[in-house]
Amino acid sequence: MRVVLALGGNAMTSPDGAARPEDQLAAIRVAMRSTARLVAAGHDLVLTHGNGPQVGNLLVKNELAAHVVPPVPLDWCGAQTQGTIGFMILDELEAALAAEGTDVPVAGLVTRTLVDQADPNFAHPTKPIGRYLPEAQARTMIDHGQTWEDRGERGWRRVVASPEPVEVLDAPAMQTLLAQGYVVVGAGGGGIPVVRDADGRLRGVEAVIDKDLTAALLARRLEADVLVIATDVEHAAVDWGTPAQRDLTSVPLTEMRGYAAAGQFASGSMGPKVDAAIRFVESGGPRSIITSLERITEAIEGGHGTRILPDPAPDDHAGDPTGQASTRHTS
């Protein structure tokens, strides 16, 4: 099958959230072992990843050096972290594939994602990024054109736009690499946000794109058989944290929409993952899966994790309990 796998930021840092270079490398090494097993099982793979901690590190460097050199824009931060994380993934995935006895080639692609200049999120930036600063330090960054908000006792925090992804511009290159048998690493951090001006030229913009929404868009563009969103839990759950908590396994699209509309998934954690998984199936994707990184192969080939499936046809009484009916891409 053709799989688009979205790794969360937790796969790029240590369990306690530390993001020193050695922490990031160790975490990626562990993540690539699970990823290599998926490739060794014969599946075509496009791997996307988060970049929040890495961009956060760059933002701190921007702040500390702002009185000496101008801070680099957020789209540059995205491009830099795609390159850094991408090369670490390539090294560790190649080593993990070799350990599995598999010699599938791997390629990383710096990836741009088109957004709409008229997206209302640009007029009202609300996505908080980076650390809290005292007002005096925040004013220095405001003087460089950034938007910061007073968050009370904790200090000031930067906010940026989070526009909807419209198109993954480098998806055709990914398609070509997949056709040549490559595992592709791309669209890190949701892609570098760019807009198209009236003359047709592209330019980067200060924004953050939700990485899982980009993964859903990319999965449809590449005609993936499954979108897998890997996180630190094995299932999405309803009534989380209460005695009535229930793990979700195989869920029709309309039912999952209902849970989301009822506010069952936290906006800062599971909510965006569920939203992306729903969008992929809504747009015609065969199925989405949310599960832990360690169980991704089992989830794809069996019945593990939370699986969001198209609504059954009115006369569909049997169906496929694992949602594996699609055979458009076989290995």
Q: How confident is the model at residue 321 (pLDDT cuts 50, 70, 90)?
A: very low
Q: Judge whether residue 328 has pLDDT over 50.
A: no
Active-site position among 57, 189, 190, 273: 273
Q: How confident is the model at residue 11 (pLDDT cuts 50, 70, 90)?
A: low
Residue 163 counted as domain residue? no
Average pLDDT of the chain is 90
Active-site position among 211, 285, 305, 323: 211
Q: Judge whether residue 18 has pLDDT over 80.
A: no
273: annotated active-site residue: yes
51: annotated active-site residue: no
Active-site position among 8, 9, 78, 86: 9
Average of per-residue pLDDT across 163-170? 97
Average of per-residue pLDDT across 7-12? 73
Report field, pTM of the whole predicted structure over 0.85: yes
Residue 146 counted as domain residue? no
Q: Judge whether residue 20 has pLDDT over 70.
A: yes
Active-site position among 127, 155, 271, 319: 127
Average of per-residue pLDDT across 34-40? 94
Q: Which of 211-215, 259-263, 293-297, 308-312 has the lowest mean pLDDT?
A: 293-297
* Dihedral (Cα; 178, 223, 330, 100), 10-degree rounding: 50
Residue 121 counted as domain residue? no
Contacts of 276 (CB under 8 A, 6+ apart): 6, 210, 212, 213, 215, 216, 227, 229, 288
What pLDDT is recorded for position 17?
65
Domain that holds residue 188: 2-108+169-309
Q: What is the CATH number of the domain that holds 301?
A: 3.40.1160.10
Residue 151 counted as domain residue? no
**Closest-CA residue to 276 (of 88, 35, 6):** 6
**Mind listing the pLDDT tens digit for each residue in 61-96?**
988 888 898 888 999 999 999 999 999 999 999 999
Q: What is the tally of structural domains in the chain?
A: 1
Residue 223 counted as domain residue? yes
Residue 94 counted as domain residue? yes
Secondary structure (DSSP) of 94-159? HHHHHHTT----EEEE--EEE--TT-GGGTS--EEEEEEE-HHHHHHHHHTT--EEE-GGG-EEEE
Average of per-residue pLDDT across 112-138? 91
Task: Report the alpha-carbon distance of residue 15 to residue 17 in Å, rounded.
Answer: 5
10: annotated active-site residue: yes
Q: Which of 125-129, 177-181, 219-223, 226-230 has the lowest mean pLDDT?
A: 125-129
What pLDDT is recorded for position 10?
64
211: annotated active-site residue: yes
Residue 208 counted as domain residue? yes
What pLDDT is recorded for position 200?
95
Residue 69 counted as domain residue? yes
Task: Report the alpha-carbon distance of residue 302 to residue 116 in Å, rounded.
Answer: 39
Q: Judge whether residue 319 has pLDDT over 80.
A: no
61: annotated active-site residue: no
